[in-house]
């Protein structure tokens, strides 16, 4: 069984470790911030697709469909923005660590039965959104230089907060 | 010539009077609530029985306006709008099914 707290700590570490390791004083640039935010959205879409493959629970499936729909909408807007600004999102250690962590989680969840999967998926959604909300609030939004990027990140934060709340309700139902 | 002008003006004058009559009779209204940035524009709004609420979704996300008491459930695709007619007085709390932090109220009087 996965431990949501451990997962949350791992993501928090992933979100901050990359740049901290490179240079403790380094702040993420706009191209890096765009890449991290986009990656977080894509990873949540991938997790939702796994849920849609495995889960038979109506509420869990509805939540997963919402994750696909909402994060696709934000990421499409992010792509349009970086194109407009002529910015190329820049891969970075934080995005890489997030992706690596998500791949490990995907493997662990793949081995669970449908019933056990539901609780583990939703618990991890709570942890994931909580961790990304923290990173958006304390690192990504404060360091974003472009006003439009900052505004999109703020919309992303509101969305992630709503998703966290929805996931928390769902986790209570499944307990 | 005068007759022609009168013939043209008379229907316009009648329309004006009818419009005034409708406004003064306190007829049902359509009240708009914008949905934007994951929030309903009016957290609380005063209405009357017979009025209609129209939600206009200006977000890039799918939302809903779903009454806690089950009296309406309006799905709102991005850029779309939807309506609910108010038939009974009282306070109706409603929320978005997808984003549970989005909450608001309708205060409906007789």
Is residue A36 within a helix (H) or strand (E), and if so which, with residue range? helix A30-54
More confident residue, A1 or A100: A100
Chain A hits for B60, CB-CB cut-off 8 Å, are 73-74, 76-77
Mean pLDDT of A77-102: 95
Domain boundaries, chain A: 4-20+30-174
- What digits encode the pLDDT tens for the residues A128-156? 999 999 999 999 999 999 999 999 999 99
B60 and A161: CB-CB below 8 Å? no
Chain B hits for A41, CB-CB cut-off 8 Å, are none
* B50 inside domain: yes
The total domain count for chain B is 1
More confident residue, A80 or A7: A80
pLDDT of residue B24: 39
> CA A104, CA A136: separation in Å to the nearest integer?
23
Size of the A and B interface in Cβ pairs below 8 Å: 35
CATH number at residue B61: 2.60.40.420
Q: Which among B37, B61, B102 is the nearest to A70, CB-wise?
A: B61
Q: Which among A66, A77, A155 is the nearest to B98, CB-wise?
A: A66
* B77 inside domain: yes
Mean pLDDT of A94-119: 93
The rounded percent of chain A whose pLDDT value lies above 70 is 86
- What digits encode the pLDDT tens for the residues A36-65? 999 999 999 999 999 999 999 999 999 999
B98 and A77: CB-CB below 8 Å? no
pLDDT of residue A26: 73
Residues B97 and B77 sit within 8 Å (Cβ to Cβ): no
- What digits encode the pLDDT tens for the residues A1-22? 444 545 555 555 555 544 444 4
* B16 inside domain: no
Across chain A, mean pLDDT equals 89
> CA B87, CA A132: separation in Å to the nearest integer?
43
Beta-carbon neighbour count of residue A148 at 10 Å? 13
HSE value, Cβ hemisphere, 13 Å, CA-based, for A148: 12
Collapse the DSSP code of A19 into the 3-class scheme (helix H, G, I; strand E, B; otherwise coil) and give the result: helix
Which residue segment(s) compose the domain that B55 sits in? Answer: 28-109
B98 and A166: CB-CB below 8 Å? yes
* B65 inside domain: yes
pLDDT of residue A11: 58
More confident residue, A174 or B15: A174
Chain B hits for A161, CB-CB cut-off 8 Å, are 101
Rounded to a whole number of angstroms, the distance between the first and last alpha carbons of chain B is 51
B103 touches chain A (CB under 8 A): no
* B94 inside domain: yes
pLDDT 10s digit of each residue in chain B, 110 long?
Answer: 444 444 444 444 444 333 333 433 468 899 999 999 999 999 999 999 999 999 999 999 999 999 999 999 999 999 999 999 999 999 999 999 999 999 999 999 99
Chain A hits for B98, CB-CB cut-off 8 Å, are 66, 70, 162, 166
* B14 inside domain: no
Is CATH 1.20.1260.10 correct for A4-20+30-174? yes
- Enter the ipTM: 0.81
Place of tokens 């009357």: B48
Query: Smallest Cα–Cα separation from A128: which of A167, A92, A93, A85?
Result: A167
Question: What are A's interface residues with B at a Cβ cutoff of 8 A?
Answer: 66, 69-70, 73-74, 76-77, 155, 158-159, 161-163, 165-166, 169
Residue of A nearest to B102 (CA): A162
* B54 inside domain: yes
């Amino acid at each position: 069984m996965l431990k949501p707290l451990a997962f949350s700590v791992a993501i928090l570490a992933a979100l901050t470790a990359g740049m901290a390791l490179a240079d403790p004083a380094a702040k993420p640039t706009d191209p890096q911030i765009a890449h991290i935010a986009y990656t977080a959205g894509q990873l949540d879409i991938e997790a939702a697709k796994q849920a849609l493959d495995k889960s038979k629970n109506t509420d869990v499936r509805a939540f997963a469909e919402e994750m696909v729909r909402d994060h696709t909408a934000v990421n499409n807007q992010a792509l349009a923005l970086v194109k407009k600004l002529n910015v190329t999102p820049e891969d970075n250690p934080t995005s890489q660590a997030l992706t690596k962590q998500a791949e490990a989680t995907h493997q662990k969840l793949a081995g669970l039965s449908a019933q056990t999967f539901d609780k583990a998926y939703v618990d991890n959604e709570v942890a994931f959104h909580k961790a990304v909300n923290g990173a958006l609030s304390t690192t990504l939004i404060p360091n974003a230089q472009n006003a439009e990027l900052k505004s999109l990140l703020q919309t992303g934060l509101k969305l992630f907060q709503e998703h966290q709340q929805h996931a928390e309700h769902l986790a209570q139902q499944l307990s | 010539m005068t007759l022609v002008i009168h013939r043209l003006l008379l229907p316009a004058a009648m329309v004006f009077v009818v419009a005034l009559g409708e406004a003064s009779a306190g007829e049902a209204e359509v009240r708009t609530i914008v949905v934007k940035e994951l929030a309903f524009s009016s957290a609380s709004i005063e209405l009357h029985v017979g009025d209609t609420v129209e939600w206009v979704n200006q977000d890039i996300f799918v939302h809903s306006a779903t009454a806690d008491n089950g009296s309406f459930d309006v799905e709102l695709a991005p850029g779309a709008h939807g309506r609910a007619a108010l038939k009974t007085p009282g306070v109706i709390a409603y929320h978005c099914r997808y984003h549970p932090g989005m909450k608001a109220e309708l205060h409906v009087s007789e």
